[in-house]
Amino acid sequence: MKAAKRILGVAVGALMLGASSVAADTIKVGIIGPFSGPFALQGKNFQAGVEAYMALNGKSVKGHDIEVIYRDLPAANPAQSRALAQELVVKEKVQYLGGVYFTPDAMAITPLLTQANTPLVIFNAATSAIMTQSPLVVRTSFTTAQTTTPLGKIAAERGVKKVISAVSDYGPGVDAEVAFKKAFEAAGGKVVEAIRMPLNTNDFSPIMQRVRDSGADAVFAFLPSGPTTLGFVKAYNETGLKQAGIKFFAPGDLTQESDLPALGDAAVGLLTTFHYAVSHDSPENKRFVEAATKAIGSADQLSFPAVGAYDGMHVIYKMIEATEGKQDAQKAVDAVKGLSWTSPRGPVSIDSETRHITENIYLREVVKGPDGKTYNKEIQTFPNQKDPGLATQ
Amino acid sequence: MQTILSIAIDALAYGMALFIICIGLSLTMGLMRVVNLAHGAFAMIAGYIASYAARDLGLGYAAAILLAILGTIVISIPLERLLYRRIYGSTELTQVLMTIGITFCVIGITNYFFGPTLKTIPLPGSLSQPVDVGFRTIAAHRLFVIACGLLVAGGLWFLIEKTSFGIKLRATVDNAAMADALGVRTQAVYAISFTVAVGLAALGGVVGAEFLPIEPYYALRYMVTFLVVVSVGGAGSILGAVAACLLLGAVDTTGRYLMPDFGNFFFYAAVIAIVCVFPRGFFGRAG
Amino acid sequence: MPDLAGIVIIAAVGMAGYWLFPDNLALLTRIVAVALLVLSIDLVTGYCGVATLGQAALFGAGAYAAGIACVNGMTEPLTLVLIGAVAGAVAGLLMGSVMLRAHGLAQLVLSIAIVQLFHEAANKASAYTGGSDGLSGLMVSPLFGVFAFDLWGKTAYLFGLSLLVFVFIALKFVVSSPFGILCRGIKEDPIRVRAMGAFVFPVLLKMFAISGAVAGIGGALAAISTQVVGLDSVSFELSANALVMLVLGGLGTLYGALAGTVIFMGFEHMVSAINPFHWMTMVGALLIGVVLAAPSGLSGLLGTISRATTRGKGGRG
């Protein structure tokens, strides 16, 4: 009797397994990002990364078709973020959530994940603390502290003694200021002054005047990519700081590739650290850039969020593979802990403790290519950097 | 002393750039009584045209400015005929609804056709060089913006105070029905004023692009700044707009130099203080 | 009891939303929270004639007060709503006492300046508000100790809907009271009201406090149901959007505020789901279309239609 039951159970199990691997079921993935509004460019890059991945790796995993549903969240708005995530999970029945550009939006989704039995793969939102909010979060982007920390050593090595820091007055800006100060002072330098500039600053010449007055050898800057970056870099050139030999260090947000055409020659010589440059020299990146450019429509628009999305899709595909298409968030997340692969940005892995990506950070210099266009040229590599913000916790 | 002068000249340039963009809005709001929140959208359209003309067609800076102004006006004519004419004389909130709608449409369409990246308008060599003004170097472009601002202020003052069109405009503003009865073609006066305002927005959008870079969200991003400047100056007053731009430019620039961390507090605290003292703006028209 | 029929309709529409869209309750809850904000603008703009582009300052005051209280251990939802209402009312008094010094355009600009200052303050006080990262980690206790605020959002929506109906009833009493009628009088002709011997400033300030309490309740509801409070809740953008919704629905009727919110947010949700990249054009077209078809807002259109039909009937009879 017992044996018969067991046989029946195995048979039913086998039948179900067979059914699930044969039937062309559809697994839905919900992507939330800023597809319109002031950050539309970054959202477009999410989409390009996702589409590039699916174009290169197929639209199905082990016979499960993948369907991506995009939802627009134009600016940081936690209430809307929660509503979109809830709708995607409850109504659209997505098994995976991905995307998310801003930290508060991620914070609004994390409380839902356990009940929803859905993992969240973050393509961008860069504050360390998100990872501690739920065990079902995995991140394939970077944190500001992670990309900034190597700059401290670099600045000191290049003979800089005194730095003035000027960052936008919001979460990531403050993260950058703190991370740089810590790294630079550990390397023996001194941050003589730290300025926090309101996000809506349009004219940066007074800030440059302050930089000049401070007597620092270099300026460390962080601003969100986009229009303010342009104003800041122009003011640095126009007020003669560049000619005066005051060096310029920043995380790579400032010289994202899609802003470089607008910055033009003003950007030449800027030193930034980041996890990804479109110019990265590897066969993986070549394939990625080709596919992503096709997806986004114009080479000028391609930027770092695309690679976060691309690797995010890689993680989601691996999760689907491990769970055989069944909805089991914990198993899916466990399956990618420690996962390592070669991303377009170089070798990466998911830290099994923090679920945050471990990656190389590159020092890049903006140089002019043979075609007259400027690009980020990688000149130094800091391998296998973890997020210092999470490591200390 | 050097620092003070240096900040003063930066403030002057920034203030003048704001002035060129905002004065058109001040005219529409003060003289035509239309709260045109889509004003920034026209400035942005001009920026796109200028960028296209200079980068893709290879035209010179002056030609690009001219083409941008003409192009923006051409685009604005059907909008004036079909949409704005319906809201002359409507309540302000209806005008807000309509012009916000227009702004949303312009943003959506620009994003669709031109993509979300920043667009620049390449400056000619003579304007992109730093110029030595004795105590420091300043970008020649900033001096050009200051000159443009003074020119616009003078030209407008002449147009409104000294020409027969100015007389008709002021008559229409004071009492449209009476002006109509006296043979002023008020409809035409409105159309011309609207065109002038759009042309100024276009000029401001192009020459101010070094301060306020051109991208699809431009129209909404700077809407608050424009509204605040116009209201502090007093809608419809050229002198008021000049004063407001210079003062707010100075407060903004000095605040950001002295205490950058609290730059916004300075700016908005100044706005509240000014409005409490001058409830109609510096030189607002009564009633 | 004023307008019993209308209140029944609101409750019925709310419940219909619950049955028809059981998978979108978080969106519906968000609409309810914003509807409270739009109602609060109607009180000062529609009934008192004070246009404001800074009402989110009051909404945000309620949201942050409830959020901070919750993080510090006051997790009972009704208490949080009360805290939000009080904070909103206090902020309303503050805002009113500044804004009522000016008129017209200057007043509008004061409202913008105030909401920007609130926004800056919330950004600066990141130790309490979380700054731009948002105030997260709100663990709200179950309502009445039984109904938890969960993924499906049933509790949050029904709680929000009850709050909305309750607030609506209260506001109906307020606007039809002698005080409410005096406000309308001030809107029509402040000089005459002053000549009749009434003090304008304290009357309007009182309305600002009530309006602040309503906005604060909306903010607290948003905080409770989202479990995160972001800087967007004290932004100019939210204020402007809410004013647009009010004008869309029609000023000065309370019903217009609700209709405008539901139509605007419903439409936005729909078109942004269909095309997440270029939906803004559609929303813009909706606004332009409404102005061309119904310059006094949708409720004004309804009023015109109903007047026309009754007149038609009268003619025939």
pLDDT in tens, C165-174: 999 999 999 9
Tell if the CB–CB gap between A90 and C230 is shorter than 8 Å: no
Tell if the CB–CB gap between B221 and A227 is shorter than 8 Å: yes
Tell if the CB–CB gap between A89 and C151 is shorter than 8 Å: yes
* Chain B residues with beta carbon closer than 8 angstroms to that of A297: 115
| pLDDT over 90 percentage in chain B | 36
Longest CA pairwise span in chain A (Å): 90
Q: Position of tokens 């159970």?
A: A9
Question: How confident is residue B149, by pLDDT bands cut at 50, 70 and 90?
Answer: very high
Tell if the CB–CB gap between A108 and C24 is shorter than 8 Å: no
Tell if the CB–CB gap between A201 and B256 is shorter than 8 Å: yes
Q: Which of B231, B266, B274, B282 is the best mutation test for C, with the most CBs of C within 10 A?
A: B231
Say if residues B212 and A202 touch (Cβ distance below 8 Å): yes
For residue C172, what pLDDT is reported? 92
Distance (Å, rounded) from C-alpha A87 to C-alpha C153?
Answer: 10
Indicate if the pLDDT at residue C306 is higher than 80. Answer: no
Indicate if the pLDDT at residue C315 is higher than 50. Answer: no
Q: What is the DSSP letter of C135?
A: B
Q: Nearest by CB to B108, which of C114, C117, C280?
A: C280
Tell if the CB–CB gap between B101 and C288 is shorter than 8 Å: yes
Same CATH topology for A25-142+281-355 and A145-274+361-391: the answer is: yes
* Chain A residues with beta carbon closer than 8 angstroms to that of B106: none
Tell if the CB–CB gap between B136 and A234 is shorter than 8 Å: no
Distance (Å, rounded) from C-alpha C89 to C-alpha C95?
Answer: 10
Q: Given a contact as 3+ CB pairs under 8 Å, which chains touch B?
A: A, C
Say if residues A209 and B7 touch (Cβ distance below 8 Å): yes
Residues with Cβ within 8 Å of A66's Cβ and at least 6 positions away in sequence, in order, are A26, A27, A29, A54, A59, A60, A317, A320
The SS3 assignment for B282 reads: coil
Tell if the CB–CB gap between C27 and A87 is shorter than 8 Å: yes
Q: C4-276, what's its fold?
A: ABC transporter involved in vitamin B12 uptake, BtuC (1.10.3470)
Q: What is the DSSP letter of A356?
A: B
Q: Which of A140, A186, A177 is nearest to A348 (CA)?
A: A140
Say if residues B275 and B231 touch (Cβ distance below 8 Å): yes
For residue A360, what pLDDT is reported? 94
Indicate if the pLDDT at residue B268 is higher than 80. Answer: yes
Domain range annotation of chain C: 4-276
Instruction: Please indicate if any CB of chain A lies within 8 Å of the CB of C132.
Output: yes
Distance (Å, rounded) from C-alpha A230 to C-alpha A260?
Answer: 9
Distance (Å, rounded) from C-alpha A262 to C-alpha B115?
Answer: 14
Distance (Å, rounded) from C-alpha B164 to C-alpha B155?
Answer: 14
Q: Which CATH number fits domain A145-274+361-391: 2.60.40.1180, 3.40.50.2300, 3.40.50.800, 3.30.1490.190?
A: 3.40.50.2300
Tell if the CB–CB gap between C296 and B94 is shorter than 8 Å: yes
- Considering only alpha carbons, which residue of chain B is nearest residue C293? B86
Say if residues B94 and B235 touch (Cβ distance below 8 Å): no
Instruction: Please indicate if any CB of chain C lies within 8 Å of the CB of B277.
Output: no
| pLDDT over 70 percentage in chain B | 98
Q: Is ipTM strictly over 0.85?
A: yes
| pLDDT over 70 percentage in chain A | 93
For residue B105, what pLDDT is reported? 94
Residue B105: inside a domain: yes
CA distances to A325, B49, B196, C30 from A33, in Å: 24, 29, 40, 19
Name the phi and psi angles at A123, rounded to 5: -90, -20
Tell if the CB–CB gap between B260 and A206 is shorter than 8 Å: yes
* Average pLDDT score over residue span B10-35: 89
Judged by CB atoms within 8 Å, which residues 172-201 of A form the interface with B? 195-198, 200-201
Tell if the CB–CB gap between B94 and C295 is shorter than 8 Å: yes
Distance (Å, rounded) from C-alpha C257 to C-alpha A241?
Answer: 54
Question: A218-222 and A190-197 as β-strands: parallel, antiparallel, unpaired?
Answer: unpaired
Domain of residue B61: give its range.
2-219
Secondary structure of chain C: what % helix, strand, coil (to 5)? 75, 0, 20
Residue B34: inside a domain: yes
Q: Yes or no: is domain A25-142+281-355 CATH 3.40.50.2300?
A: yes
Tell if the CB–CB gap between A169 and C126 is shorter than 8 Å: no
Amino acid at A324: E
Q: What's the domain count of chain B? A: 1
Say if residues C44 and C50 touch (Cβ distance below 8 Å): yes
Tell if the CB–CB gap between A107 and C120 is shorter than 8 Å: no
What are the beta bridge partners of residue A69? A30
Alpha-helical segments (H) within chain A = 2-22, 40-57, 78-90, 103-109, 113-116, 144-157, 171-186, 205-214, 227-238, 260-263, 283-296, 305-323, 329-336, 388-391
Q: Nearest by CB to B120, which of A169, A258, A262?
A: A262
For residue A16, what pLDDT is reported? 45
Q: Which of C167, C170, C207 is nearest to C2 (CA)?
A: C170
- Considering only alpha carbons, which residue of chain A is nearest residue B130? A238
Q: Which two tokens stand for residue B154?
A: 């003078």
Q: Nearest by CB to A234, which of B115, B210, B254?
A: B210
The pLDDT tens digits of the residues spanning B89-111 come to: 888 888 988 999 999 999 999 98
Rounded to the nearest 10 degrees, the angle between the axes of helix C56-71 and helix C200-226 is 50
Q: Which two tokens stand for residue C285?
A: 């077209």
Say if residues C242 and C56 touch (Cβ distance below 8 Å): yes
The SS3 assignment for B247 reads: helix
- How big is chain B, counted in residues? 287
How close C26 gets to chain B, by Cα (Å)?
26
User: How many pairs of residues across B and C have Cβ atoms under 8 Å apart?
Assistant: 129
Say if residues A210 and A164 touch (Cβ distance below 8 Å): yes
* Average pLDDT score over residue span B186-202: 90
How close A128 gets to chain C, by Cα (Å)?
11
* Average pLDDT score over residue span A130-142: 92
Domain range annotation of chain A: 25-142+281-355, 145-274+361-391
DSSP for C265-298 reads HHHHHHHHHH-TTTTHHHHHHHHHHHHHH-TTHH
Ramachandran bin of B89, using left for φ above 0, alpha for ψ from -120 to 50, beta for the remaining angles: left
* Chain C residues with beta carbon closer than 8 angstroms to that of A76: 132, 134, 230-232
Q: Which two tokens stand for residue A217?
A: 């050898």
Distance (Å, rounded) from C-alpha B236 to C-alpha A380?
Answer: 58
Distance (Å, rounded) from C-alpha A366 to C-alpha A360?
Answer: 19
Distance (Å, rounded) from C-alpha B153 to C-alpha B225?
Answer: 19
* Chain C residues with beta carbon closer than 8 angstroms to that of A110: 136
